[in-house]
Amino acid sequence: MTEEYDYDLFVIGAGSGGVRAARMAASAGAKVAIAEEKYLGGTCVNVGCVPKKLFVYASHWSEEFVDAAGFGWELGEHRFNWSTLLQRKNKEIERLNGIYQNLLENAGVTIVWGRARLTSANSIEVDGKTITAQKILVTVGATPSVPEFPGSEHVISSDQVFYLPELPKKIVIVGGGYIAVEFAGIMNGLGVETHLIYRGDKLLKNFDQPTAQFAAKEMQKKGVNIHYSTNITKIDRQSDGSLSCSLDNGQSIVAGQVMYATGRRSLTNDLGIEKVGLMTRNNATIETNEQFQTSIPSIYALGDVIGTPELTPVATAQAMVFVNQQYGDGTRTISYDNIPTAIFCQPNIGTVGLSEEALKAKGVAVDVYQSEFKHLKHTLSGSDERVLMRMLVDKGTQKVLGMHMVGPGAGEVIQGFAVAVKAGLTKDQFDATIGIHPTMAEEFVTLRDISYSV
């Protein structure tokens, strides 16, 4: 570091990507500081992946209690205590915040609490104090975006749902993406009458549609009320505190809570972007090159704020590449092809590779291998939940281009198969693999008949 700067690297935003970049850069010998105005760990640790998955676990117990009877268990009366879940969840998040703080401090990173704003190519202001750095890394992430309409002040987002003082008896969730469907499953599983409202005619429009539609039907079987091609025009608070939602089809729904999960926006407002002249896109994400460098050479950005897939593992992978390029041998790169992901709706969706729709758009001739069946567990439980597994294979090369699953633990199953898809394995290589019996996952190596071709 030259003596004219306070730090070699100053990171704005202590989410997953920012924390990883800061501590890895510090471990590589750089003098690093990181600014955060809210909490360590960002969305994922505090109001995203981690607490959401804990809520998913909690909500699934209602089904486990019912299923247990089929295996001979005689259970007494049981009830759910929302405040206990909140307290236990909060304690775990506090523990993780402490771990993040220790990781940073043990690596020698200086934590600066407060809102950081860019003031020049090499300077930042935090609470009136100017700090200089040879390089600045912006990792401020994104936040839920709620549209403005009459009564929109009454709604909550996914951030607030983790801290509701009471669980409503009835909830309306608006949206058709993964956050909306996940919380629909959570609330339904916790015993809340759940209505999912979506303006389109199909949920999860960016995912493989046969997979998404299968999952939607399974959700409906479990009790989620899905209202397609519908939107809320206004919300009125009633004298008893409930919320009356007027719909564009002339109907209305009265509920104790209304949650919007209709998209996220980059947290680039009040960051000094305009002041320093940083180039952004129309959706407020920051433009960068493959080295995460912005239009200002000394300022870099990564994670949700640059418009790449909004996934925690993507941000942390980008952070590792950034540190390698800036403070290592510069050999690492990142590919956004074949990123596996899961939707923790109920039942879960796991997916890697391309969807049937994407392959059609590319003009790739594909053989579709598909299996739908009842999970062995449910032959005794009495549940009518079913599993779907789909494999999309290039007709010419026999390369497996996509794998999609709906069923318990789909994310866990697909994570393993993602290695095979990333490695470019063929259908013959899958066929040559001996399965583990009896498991759901073995179905992916025993698919023999083509269901249809596209």
Q: How far is CA 146 from CA 49, 158, 174, 266, 386, in A?
A: 20, 10, 10, 13, 34
Is 196 a member of any domain? yes
Which amino acid is present at 276? V
Least Cα distance to 117 among 37, 42, 40 occurs for 37
Least Cα distance to 256 among 272, 240, 232, 280 occurs for 240
On whether both 92 and 125 belong to a single domain, the answer is yes
Enclosing H/E stretch for 33: strand 32-36
Section 126-155 average pLDDT: 97
On whether both 132 and 272 belong to a single domain, the answer is yes
Section 143-156 average pLDDT: 97
Is 355 a member of any domain? yes
Give the position of tokens 């583990």. 436
What CATH number is associated with residue 382?
A: 3.30.390.30
State residue 87's pLDDT score: 98
Q: Give the relative orientation of helices 82-106 and 49-68 as an angle to the nearest 10 degrees.
A: 140
Least Cα distance to 366 among 178, 210, 201 occurs for 210
Instruction: Give the domain range for residue 106.
Output: 7-143+265-327
Could you give the CA distance from residue 242 to residue 238 in angstroms, rounded to a whole number? 5
Identify whether the C-beta of residue 159 lies closer than 8 Å to the C-beta of residue 259: no
CB atoms within 10 A of CB 225: 16
372 Cβ contact list (under 8 Å, min separation 6): 214, 386, 387, 388, 389
State residue 273's pLDDT score: 94
Could you give the CA distance from residue 327 to residue 20 in angstroms, rounded to a whole number? 14
Enclosing H/E stretch for 218: helix 209-221
Task: State yes or no: cis peptide before 313, omega within 30 of 0.
Answer: no
User: At residue 330, does pLDDT exceed 90?
Assistant: yes
On whether both 275 and 319 belong to a single domain, the answer is yes
E runs forming strands in 77-228: 110-113, 116-120, 123-126, 129-138, 142-144, 170-174, 193-197, 225-227
Identify whether the C-beta of residue 247 lies closer than 8 Å to the C-beta of residue 199: no
On whether both 388 and 239 belong to a single domain, the answer is no
User: At residue 161, does pLDDT exceed 90?
Assistant: yes
Is 103 a member of any domain? yes
User: At residue 30, does pLDDT exceed 60?
Assistant: yes
Residue 437 annotated among the catalytic residues of the structure: yes
Is 333 a member of any domain? no
State residue 343's pLDDT score: 98
On whether both 139 and 11 belong to a single domain, the answer is yes
Identify whether the C-beta of residue 50 lies closer than 8 Å to the C-beta of residue 44: yes
Confidence of residue 262 (pLDDT cuts 50, 70, 90): very high
Pairing of strands 243-247, 387-394: unpaired
Over pLDDT 70: what percentage of the chain? 100
Section 24-46 average pLDDT: 97
User: Among 274, 299, 327, which residue terminates a domain?
Assistant: 327
User: At residue 1, does pLDDT exceed 90?
Assistant: no
Is 332 a member of any domain? no
Is 1 a member of any domain? no
Across 77-81, 245-249, 299-303, least confident range:
77-81
On whether both 109 and 200 belong to a single domain, the answer is no
State residue 12's pLDDT score: 98
User: At residue 241, does pLDDT exceed 60?
Assistant: yes
Tokens linked to 326: 């800036």
Pairing of strands 142-144, 264-266: antiparallel
Tokens linked to 98: 């402490």
CB atoms within 10 A of CB 105: 13
**76-128 per-position pLDDT tens digit:** 888 999 999 999 999 999 999 999 999 999 999 999 999 999 999 999 999 99
Tokens linked to 65: 């209690």
State residue 212's pLDDT score: 98
Identify whether the C-beta of residue 155 lies closer than 8 Å to the C-beta of residue 262: no
Could you give the CA distance from residue 107 to residue 129 in angstroms, rounded to a whole number? 24
What CATH number is associated with residue 243?
A: 3.50.50.60
Q: Cα angle vertex 221, ends 218, 227, to 5°?
A: 90
Confidence of residue 2 (pLDDT cuts 50, 70, 90): low
Mean residue pLDDT across the chain: 97
Total residue length of the chain: 454
- What's the distance, CA 53 to chain centroid? 10
Catalytic residue among 154, 378, 404, 437: 437
State residue 223's pLDDT score: 98
Tokens linked to 144: 């839920």
Identify whether the C-beta of residue 71 lies closer than 8 Å to the C-beta of residue 10: no
Task: State yes or no: cis peptide before 165, omega within 30 of 0.
Answer: no
Which amino acid is present at 252? S
Identify whether the C-beta of residue 174 lies closer than 8 Å to the C-beta of residue 197: yes
Section 129-134 average pLDDT: 98
On whether both 164 and 283 belong to a single domain, the answer is no
**198-233 per-position pLDDT tens digit:** 999 999 999 999 999 999 999 999 999 999 999 999
Tokens linked to 192: 């809340």
Least Cα distance to 388 among 218, 186, 226 occurs for 218
On whether both 24 and 124 belong to a single domain, the answer is yes
Least Cα distance to 164 among 76, 258, 75 occurs for 258
Give the position of tokens 């890697």. 352
Could you give the CA distance from residue 433 to residue 325 in angstroms, rounded to a whole number? 38
Q: Say how many domains are in the chain.
A: 3
Is 2 a member of any domain? no
Q: Reduced to 3 states, what is the DSSP secondary structure of residue 79?
A: coil
Identify whether the C-beta of residue 196 lies closer than 8 Å to the C-beta of residue 226: yes
Residue 108 zone, left/alpha/beta (φ > 0; ψ -120 to 50; rest): left
Which amino acid is present at 142? A
User: Among 262, 286, 314, which residue terminates a domain?
Assistant: 262
Confidence of residue 409 (pLDDT cuts 50, 70, 90): very high
User: Among 297, 327, 357, which residue terminates a domain?
Assistant: 327
